[in-house]
A and B are shown apart, each in its own frame.
Chain A
Amino acid sequence: MSQGTTKAPPDSGLRIRTEVKAAVAPAADKGEPDITIDAVNLSYGDNHVLHDITMAIDDRRVTAFIGPSGCGKSTLLRCLNRMNDLIDNVRITGKITVKGLDINAATTDVIEVRRRIGMVFQKSNPFPKSIYENVVYGLRIAGINDKATLDEACERSLKGAALWEEVKDRLDESGLGLSGGQMQRLCIARAIAVEPEVILMDEPCSALDPIATLKIEELIYGLKDKYTIVIVTHNLQQAARVSDKTAFFWLGRLVEYSPTADMFTKPGDKLTEDYITGRFG
């Protein structure tokens, strides 16, 4: 097994604050706003992508973003952990707070933001490392190299991602040797290993077969007891199955945001109705 040898400097401020979770979580009531998005506008150069998005995402609930391709739902998701920083020419206005932390503020450390907000991508992207190293990656980059801690985190995360039984005997093998669904669950295990507060999922099942999709959905359902989950999906049935609230986006605007049951039974907007009944999309 290739063990990472470089350590982050001990005083780099990159330590995982597991205690933050412990202190905050019991105090927050289930269903209270966890993420607030206030008048967010985003443009790539001259291309205005998000228009005045304002919404609040509940703590420890699953919130689904739906909408046709190019409507800005993934872009908004990537605003939440500042992945848009990686793109040149992006301009963002408005305010996003996560548990009271203004994530775009100049004083906010982007590393800290991403540490607290995990992300699972559309295409599963394990590192070219062993399964074990994939899972403990977040801890290693935070400077944790204690074997017992890593082992514990690895087992807990893989169990949390419902992957433990399948891989416990081959943790040393490459993470790239797993099946598509397993790889995606490995990515989820990797995300929850650092105990984030929020998990963002960008179409996590779009490349998976129906059985693997079902497993991930069950997993999401189980995870929402501990984590706030935001999921972008093209699959309306999936949104209906897993989410508590659904937001419908169209051409960069938030058209409707309501409890999932309401949206799929009595949509409040003509556009939403047309979209979820399949008239366009």
Chain B
Amino acid sequence: MNALVKSWRRGDPMVWFTGSALGICILMIVGLVLVILTNGLSFFWPKALTQLTLKDGSVLMGELASSEPIPNPGHPDHLQKQRLLVRVGNRDVYGFDFKWVPEGDIAKQERPRDAYFVERREYGPLLGTPVRVKQGDKILAEGAAAVELALPGLIARAAEDRSAIERIEKHEIGDINYEIERLRLESRALDLAASRGQDVAEKRADVERATAAQKALFQTKTDELAQLTERVAGTWVAFVTADGQEKELRSLDIYRSYAANQLTLLGRLSVYGGRLWAFFIEGPRESNTEGGIFPAIFGTVMMVIIMSIIVVPLGVLAALYLREYAKQGLLVRIVRIAVNNLAGVPSIVFGVFGLGFFVYTVGGTIDALFFPEALPTPTFGTGGILWAALTLALLTVPVVIVSSEEALAAVPRSMREASLAMGATKFQTILRVVLPAAAPGILTGLILAMARGAGEVAPLMLTGVVKLAPELPVDGFFPFFHFDRKFMHLGFHIYDVGFQSPNVEAAKPMVYTTTIFLLLIVVLLNLTAIVVRNRLREKYKTGAF
């Protein structure tokens, strides 16, 4: 008893309490990372294809996704039997991707050697055995072995053809469309000018001539595209599904295929790497359930960068005024409290403000003043990357102000005095001595702001993020950066893929994979800022900082 009291007085239990609290925190964080990593990284791993013959004679084939006990409340076999979730694919044939199969119904399990997993443009994967390749009416290969030989070449050609088609569709025809739209707006502007009594006949003739030329060009390119598509679309690959249905697939629509049950470890790794890379560099397909997330990565990074460019000068200037110029008193104290509280306002509130102020008021005014020819279609008067970045800048500016103020306050008085005694003005002192000395602390504020900004989703949904943005906010058209464009964002993409997609079961693993990328990007952005800060610190290393 005495020993227990002594131990209590010494504070031993406190050590245990605090230690356990820390331990729990670490466990939770490690658990979070592990859950995301295991779920996300296993998504691309090619699984074996299993063919199941059921007791009623029906046959199905697919990847075994998971298994669970069958609930049957009130009966003795409640949770006693297992059922398997099989990813059967072939949504165009069956109408579903996944199927539950009670374990008891399975008569036979096997892994057919020729079973193929085919990634294609639409309807999710196709699972089946290849039977023939034909071009028009001519059969190029017959039988699984022959088709297997032909497939890699076909797929490589398909990739080339697709990029050729995309080049014409997106770039050449896209450019023409962009030009036609620009001319339409110009002609509209001329209408407006004419209604004000200006003589626009000459310009109008120019515009009309240019439009006619572009339209002719458009026709040529469309014909060219039609010819190309005609030429490359003639090759078909036929597969037969496990239950004997034959399905023909244009070779052009095949993205990747592999014989899942023949893959060696190296083969699996190469499929895995290829899928991961494609996920990184490709745009999404099939309402975001297939394809990659590159536009979302691009949008996230660009938005964070724009936000940083806005928030740092704003926050640092505000902090400079508060710390260096303002007369310290009640008013400054109130402002400081208000700034601190701003950091605690729910982010959706900022979103509402951004929508009401930036998008409708500021954007609407800009449209009325500078883009009257496009009205009633809004240019800046609708959500866009600039408004989203501004809203997030507003959301994160308190963080920057607070840490900048602390950094400024930490610059020793003796250093300011030295500068002033040299005959520097206050402004020169701040610019040349105080700000450089405070730079590492200011960067710490930026790091915190970026970490918060990159992870926000709610305000973005109101101010410019969309499910699918056809164009990146940066392209080859003047002025290259299109701040009025809507964009994709990883945070929103996670929500969209996980909960808004028509095929939730198939898209679920993508939630984790996208999360990994979001985490990676936040870490990378932060690392960059941390490296810059450490360089600055290293440069003027001293005991004072």
Residue positions of A touching B, CB distance < 8 A: 2, 4, 6, 8, 14, 81, 83, 86, 111-112, 114-115, 118-119, 121, 123, 125-129, 137-138, 140-142, 174, 176-177, 187, 190-191, 194
Contacts and interface: CB of A to CB of B under 8 A. Distances in A.
A128 B437 CA distance: 6
Given A141-B428, A174-B540, A187-B418, A129 B436 contact: yes
A125 B415 contact: yes
Q: Which one of B414, B415, B417, B422 has the greatest number of beta carbons of chain A within 10 Å?
A: B422
B540 A81 contact: no
Give the interface size class of chain B.
Answer: 20 to 34
B418 A127 contact: yes
Interface in B398-424: 412, 414-415, 417-424
B6 interface: no
B425 A6 contact: no
B425 A129 contact: no
Top 4 A-B residue pairs of the complex, sorted by shortest distance between their CB atoms? A115-B423, A128-B540, A176-B542, A119-B421
A174 B539 contact: yes
A234 to B, nearest CB: 18
B516 interface: no
15 contacts: A6-B431, A6-B432, A14-B423, A111-B424, A112-B423, A114-B421, A115-B422, A121-B417, A123-B414, A128-B437, A137-B424, A138-B423, A141-B419, A141-B424, A176-B540
Given A6-B432, A86-B417, A125-B414, A114 B544 contact: no
Interface in B23-74: none
B417 A141 contact: no
A8 B424 CA distance: 10
Nearest to B538: A174
Main secondary structure on B side of the interface with A: helix
A170 to B, nearest CB: 14
Contacts of A129: 436, 540
B417 A137 contact: no
B294 to A, nearest CB: 38
Given A118-B421, A128-B415, A174-B542, 10 more contacts: A6-B428, A83-B420, A86-B417, A119-B421, A125-B412, A129-B436, A137-B419, A140-B432, A174-B540, A176-B540
A121 B414 contact: yes
Interface in B241-268: none
Contact of B422 (A6, A112, A114, A128): A114
A125 B423 contact: no
B51 to A, nearest CB: 70
B433 interface: yes
Contacts of B424: 111, 137-138, 141
B541 interface: yes
Contacts of B414: 121, 123, 125
B423 A128 contact: no
B433 A127 contact: yes
Nearest to B425: A111
Contacts of B431: 6
Interface string B513-545: 000000000000000000000000001111011
A162 B418 CA distance: 20
Contact of B418 (A86, A125, A142): A125
A4 B542 CA distance: 21
A17 to B, nearest CB: 11
A139 to B, nearest CB: 10
Interface string B372-413: 000000000000000000000000000000000000000010
B538 to A, nearest CB: 9
A114 B417 CA distance: 11
A174 B415 contact: no
Contacts of B545: 128
B423 A111 contact: yes
A142 B437 CA distance: 21
Contacts of A126: 418
Contact of B432 (A114, A123, A137, A191): A137
Contacts of B418: 121, 125-127, 187, 190
Contacts of A6: 428, 431-432
A127 B415 contact: yes
Nearest to B328: A88
Given A6-B432, A174-B539, A176-B544, A127 B419 contact: yes
A142 B419 contact: no
Interface in B422-442: 422-425, 428, 431-433, 436-437
Q: Which one of B412, B540, B545 has the greatest number of beta carbons of chain A within 10 Å?
A: B540
Given A128-B542, A174-B541, A177-B541, A137 B422 contact: yes
B419 A81 contact: no
A89 to B, nearest CB: 13
Q: Which one of A125, A137, A140 has the greatest number of beta carbons of chain B within 10 Å?
A: A125
A4 B432 contact: yes
A4 B431 CA distance: 10
B407 to A, nearest CB: 12
B532 to A, nearest CB: 14
A118 B423 CA distance: 9
Q: Which one of B414, B418, B545 has the greatest number of beta carbons of chain A within 10 Å?
A: B418
A108 B542 CA distance: 37
B167 to A, nearest CB: 44
Nearest to A85: B420
A234 B433 CA distance: 30
Given A127-B433, A141-B428, A176 B541 contact: yes
A142 B432 contact: no
Contact of A8 (B417, B420, B428, B542): B428
